[in-house]
Amino acid sequence: MNANEELADKAVGHAVDLAAYSNEVVRRMIALLNRSDARLFSELTQALERMTPATFSVQRLEDLLISVRQLNAQAYAQIGEEMSSEVRRLVEYEAGYQLALFNAAIPPQVIASVGVAEVNVAQVYAAALSRPFQGRLLREWAGSVEAGRMTRIRDTVRQGFIEQMTTDQIVRKIRGTKAKGYSDGIIEIDRRQAEAVVRTAISHTAGFTRDRFYEGNTDLIKAVQWVSTLDTRTSEPCRIRDNLRYQPVDHRPIGHAVPWLGGPGRLHWNCRSSSVPITKSWRELGLNIDDFSPTTRASMDGQVAADMSYADWIKKQPASRQDQILGADRGKLLRDGGLTLDKFYNDKGVYLTLDELRKRDAAAFRRAGV
């Protein structure tokens, strides 16, 4: 495996790990929001019980909702602070990962001749926070989601009094019902938006940090290749860019006319695409071939890894890695049950449960011993 092949292989695995990390951050942020909501709805219930239809007015409602508004603002302020800290940690991790990856993939003799530049974490962090994603800065998104949620709460309360709903009915309409995991409340849209902001902020930060690392190492890197997570959920804008190459600094297309736009991980909400650098050959680096061993020359021959989808990549991974990503049962279904990765999704790109998979192909479960 030459340097470019190793970098490509590691890029897919790193994208998988970043997705798992994103899931964990989302879980923590939603848990924070849930803890705040317990207090918020208690306060909302008390506020509504202090007002009767006879005493209802817009101004009185605004006065009663002051404490609810404060709790809502505090929750999103805390999420904003947590995400700012998370972004700092991610920049530091991603910068260190790219440096370690290059030091491992590029032969030591080449590194000694050309060098690998580190990025300044503090500068990249500041730049990442000052760079809008999907039109707004991170702190602006937190404020926007918070304001939108409070507006929905206020408007639902107003409508509830007009329709002479009870306090419990109004609260259930806003929060949802326990039987449905509170997913049927009108603020569920804000929960989904908060999740999208978290995921997009992470992919934006990781992609931004990679770009700065590539820009600092153009002595070694001649191009950047777009890598899309090719499963049934891959968006069309990412699918058409998969494996296309761009200049490492200004991102001009190489051999095609498809624009870079926001770049991998930043093209749209919840973008999961990534990128991989393509290194120069020893000739392009201006190195003397006689100074290097045959192994080093082969490693830096400039050959680019063959196009590889996520499905191709995961089939080549050891069982332990497959189980880590897919879960033990799905790992067995992939290895021994004869199922391909696309069979884990329905025609709309929704991940099927094991029970749904069993109904579709019970024979695969028997073959896998699951």
Reported confidence tier of residue 233, pLDDT bands at 50, 70, 90: low
Q: What is the pLDDT of residue 143?
A: 86
Q: What is the pLDDT of residue 277?
A: 92
Q: Is there a contact between 64 and 161 (Cβ–Cβ < 8 Å)?
A: no
61 pLDDT more than 60: yes
Q: Is the dihedral of CA 106, 111, 112, 114 positive or negative?
A: positive
Condensed to tens digits (0 to 9), the pLDDT of residues 294-304 reads: 665 555 555 55
Q: What is the pLDDT of residue 205?
A: 94
Q: Which two tokens stand for residue 346?
A: 């329905």
Condensed to tens digits (0 to 9), the pLDDT of residues 335-352 reads: 999 888 778 877 665 678
Q: Please tell me the distance from the alpha carbon of residue 44 to that of residue 53, in angstroms, as a whole number.
A: 16
**Nearest one of 229, 199, 225 to 341, comparing CA atoms:** 229
162 pLDDT more than 90: no
Beta bridge partners of 275: 226
Give the residue-averaged pLDDT of 179-184: 84
Q: What is the pLDDT of residue 25?
A: 94
Q: Please tell me the distance from the alpha carbon of residue 135 to that of residue 185, in angstroms, as a whole number.
A: 27
Q: Please tell me the distance from the alpha carbon of residue 346 to that of residue 369, in angstroms, as a whole number.
A: 23
How many CB atoms are closer than 10 A to CB 149? 23
Q: Which two tokens stand for residue 281?
A: 């050959």
Q: Is the dihedral of CA 323, 327, 328, 330 positive or negative?
A: negative
Q: What is the pLDDT of residue 243?
A: 83
Query: What average pLDDT does the structure give for the chain?
Result: 86
Give the residue-averaged pLDDT of 158-184: 89
Which residue type is seen at 29?
A: M
Average the pLDDT over each of 34-43, 229-238, 292-301 and give the range with the smallest value.
Answer: 292-301
224 pLDDT more than 90: yes
SS (H, E, C) the chain: CCHHHHHHHHHHHHHHHHHHHHHHHHHHHHHHHHHHHHHHHHHHHHHHHCCCHHHCCHHHHHHHCHHHHHHHHHHHHHHHHHHHHHHHHHHHHHHHHHHHHHHHHCCHHHHHHHCCCCCCHHHHHHHHHHCCECCECHHHHHHHHHHHHHHHHHHHHHHHHHCCCCHHHHHHHHHCCHHHCCCCCCCHHHHHHHHHHHHHHHHHHHHHHHHHHHHCCCCCEEEEEEECCCCCCCCHHHHCCCCCEECCCCCCEECCCCCCCCCCCCCCCCCCCEEEEEECCCCCCCCCHHHCCHHHHHHCCCCCCCCCCHHHHHHCCCHHHHHHHHCHHHHHHHHCCCCCHHHHECCCCCECCHHHHHHHCHHHHHHHCC
> Over pLDDT 90: what percentage of the chain?
45
Average the pLDDT over each of 140-144, 226-230, 267-271 and give the range with the smallest value.
Answer: 226-230
Phi first, then psi, for residue 345 (nearest 5°) are -125, 155
Specify which of 126-140, 157-171, 314-328 reaches the highest per-range mean pLDDT: 157-171
Number of alpha carbons in the 13 Å side-chain half-sphere of residue 13: 16
**Nearest one of 1, 15, 6 to 226, comparing CA atoms:** 15
15 pLDDT more than 90: no
How many CB atoms are closer than 10 A to CB 200? 21
pTM: 0.80
Beta bridge partners of 223: 278
Query: Any idea where the domains of the chain sit in the sequence?
Result: 3-215, 318-370
Condensed to tens digits (0 to 9), the pLDDT of residues 133-159 reads: 888 888 888 888 899 999 999 999 999
Condensed to tens digits (0 to 9), the pLDDT of residues 73-99 reads: 999 999 999 999 999 999 999 999 999
132 pLDDT more than 90: no
307 pLDDT more than 70: no
Give the residue-averaged pLDDT of 8-12: 84
Residue bearing the bigger pLDDT, 78 or 286: 78
Q: With 0-12 CB in 10 A as exposed, 13-18 as middle and 19+ as buried, what is 255?
A: exposed
Q: Is there a contact between 114 and 284 (Cβ–Cβ < 8 Å)?
A: no
326 pLDDT more than 70: yes
